[in-house]
Amino acid sequence: MNHSGTLYVVATPIGNLQDITLRALEVLKAVDVIAAEDTRHTSGLLAHFAIQKKLVAVHDHNERKAAELLVQRLQAGESIALVTDAGTPGISDPGAVVVQVVREAGLKVVPIPGPSAVIAALSASGIIAAGFTFYGFLPASGAQRRNSLQGLSGLQSTLVFYEAPHRVLDSVADMAQVLGAERRLTIARELTKTFETFHSCELGAASAWLESDSNQQRGEFVLLVEAAPPQDEKPVSDEAERILKLLLAELPLKQAVKLATDITGTKKNALYEFALQLKQE
């Protein structure tokens, strides 16, 4: 493997250190430098695996500046592993800016996939859905949070949020208010750790469950909300109905239906049945 001038984006465990991949260990041992969100935190991980390596800091506040320095190192032929405190860099974590700047400089970026709380939560949730929308952290302010939830309320995919323990009660209350108390919520807490918990309930019952045991409000959370129910699609849209009525007023039924089909693209049978109903009325 030629590491020279390559940035590796390395996923690290989200709790259980055994979740590090063999490839992540190989890369962390082989690179010249590790760029870390918090060098002290990453030192602990490296010590556990008996890896000694030079560390440089890349956090939210200095990400662009740090990215430029990393580009200089890569251009000089060094190889770099980018890690965050837990999980996959760039997923509600620093990393995306570094990757963009490095790519724009025409340098090679290689993902080393591994843990991410969103995927761990979804994979063991038992939620059957066509897809999911990963939102990450909702805004801290109540009004902005409810506004964001409003924008997501109609999506017909599972909604996935990260949440901090001190905001989880407020967030589930807002979700119940904006998304509807009867939608199902799955709380995935402390994944891969000693007190890992999955709990599913209706959004309206979530606050009471969290309040019933203060331990359930501790630690790290992924919140998964059931998709919006499918909207009943009308076989004949309001616009098709309007056009059909206009045509029926001037033409025989069959001709009106044919023209309305051509104009609106609605199924002919649906329009025909609708026209018969209108005539009967």
Q: Which of 7, 24, 86, 244 binds ligand SAM (CB under 6 A)?
A: 86
For the bound state, the minimum distance from the C-beta of residue 78 to ligand SAM, rounded and expressed in Å, comes to: 24
- Asked if 91 interacts with ligand SAM (CB under 6 A), we say yes
Whether 218 and 212 have beta carbons less than 8 Å apart is answered as: no
| Residue 260 C-beta-side C-alpha neighbours within 13 Å | 32
Q: 3-class SS at 189?
A: strand
> Residue 116: enclosing H or E segment and its boundaries?
none
Between CA 227 and CA 268 the distance in angstroms is 32
Instruction: Identify which of residues 58 and 222 has a Cβ nearer to ligand SAM in the complex.
Output: 222
x/- binding map, residues 126-145, to ligand SAM, per CB under 6 A? --------------------
Q: How far apart (Å, rounded) are the C-alpha atoms in residues 256 and 262?
A: 10
Give residues 253-272 in contact with ligand SAM (rule: CB under 6 A). Answer: none
User: Taking CB under 6 A as the rule, does residue 15 contact ligand SAM?
Assistant: yes
% helix / strand / coil in the chain, to the nearest 5? Answer: 45, 20, 35
- Which residues on adjacent β-strands are paired with residue 187? 199, 223
Per rule CB under 6 A, is residue 13 in the interface with ligand SAM? no
Say whether 200 sits in a helix, a strand or coil.
Answer: strand
Q: Which of 164, 181, 246, 263 binds ligand SAM (CB under 6 A)?
A: 164
Q: Cα(102)–Cα(85) distance, rounded to whole angstroms?
A: 21
Nearer to ligand SAM among residue 108 and residue 167 (C-beta): 167
| Whole-number Å distance between alpha carbons of 171 and 15 | 23
Residue number, nearest CB to ligand SAM: 87
Q: Could you give the angle at which helices 238-248 and 253-264 cross, rounded to 10 degrees? A: 150
- Least distance (Å) from ligand SAM to the CB of residue 272? 54
Q: Are 264 and 243 in contact (CB under 8 A)?
A: yes
Among 79, 116, 125, 186, binds ligand SAM (CB under 6 A): 116
Q: Which x/- pattern over 192-231 shows residues binding ligand SAM (rule: CB under 6 A)? A: xx--------------------------xxx---------
Q: Which is nearer to ligand SAM, 92 or 153 (CB)?
A: 92
Site for ligand SAM in 93-112 (CB under 6 A): 93
Closest approach of Cβ 19 to ligand SAM, in Å?
Answer: 10
Q: Which positions touch ligand SAM (CB under 6 A)?
A: 14-15, 84, 86-88, 91-93, 116-118, 162-164, 188-193, 220-222
